[in-house]
Amino acid sequence: MIKKILFIFVIFSFCLCIMGSKKEKAEILNASLFQTSYYEGVNINKVISSKQELIDFLNIYDGFSKEELTIINDTYNDDYFLSNELVIKYVTEKSSSISYKVSGINITNEDILINIEKESLDFITCDMVGWFIFIEKDKDINYNNVVLKFN
C-alpha cells in the first residue's frame, strides 16, 4: 500500500513538474521594439547566441540611438547569453508616424507568435522607417518559426 501511494505521489509530482516547466518557458518570452533606420531589401531573421554575435550584428546595423545601445549592451551581456538567446526580426513601415507595440507572445505548434499592434498619429509622414524586434527566449525553447501578426 505504501509503495502504491509513493508511486502515485511520484507520478503526480512528475506531471506537475512537466506542466510547470512548460508554463515557465512560455512566461520567459519577451520582446522589445527598436525603431531604427530603413534598410531597403533587408530581411532579417537572426538568432543571436552570444555577446560577440550581438556586437557583430550591432556593427552592421548602426541605426540605434546611444540610449538604445546602452540598454541593449546592459541587458544582453555575457550572463544573459548563458541560458538565453535573442531572435531578431526586422520589419519596415512606410512612415515613422506609425509605431508598433507588442501586445502578446505565444508559442503555438512550436512557432513563436508575436502579436503587434500598429499605432499611428492623426497624420502620416513620408519617411520610411525600420523596426528591429528583439525576441528574448530561453535556449531550451525549440521553435520552427517566429510569426509576426500585425493588428
Tens of pLDDT, residue by residue over 29-39, are 788 878 777 77
Strands 111-120 and 146-150: parallel
Residue 44, phi then psi, degrees to nearest 5: -110, 125
Cell of 144: 520552427
Quote the pLDDT of residue 26. 39
Burial class (CB in 10 A: 0-12, 13-18, 19+), 48: buried
Block residue for cell numbers 505521489: 9
**Beta-carbon-side half-sphere exposure of residue 34 (alpha carbons within 13 Å):** 22
32: helix, strand or coil:
strand
Give me the residue label for grid cell 512537466: 18
pLDDT in tens, 55-112: 999 998 878 889 999 999 999 999 999 999 999 988 888 877 888 888 888 887 788 8
CA–CA separation, 75 and 151 (whole Å): 28
For the segment 10-34, what is each residue's pLDDT rounded down to a tens digit?
333 333 333 333 333 334 478 887 8
d(CA 56, CA 40): 20
DSSP-derived 3-state class of residue 126? coil
Q: What angle do CA 30, 32, 36 make, to 5 degrees?
A: 160
pLDDT value of position 15? 37
Q: How far is CA 28 from CA 49, 59, 83, in A?
A: 16, 27, 11
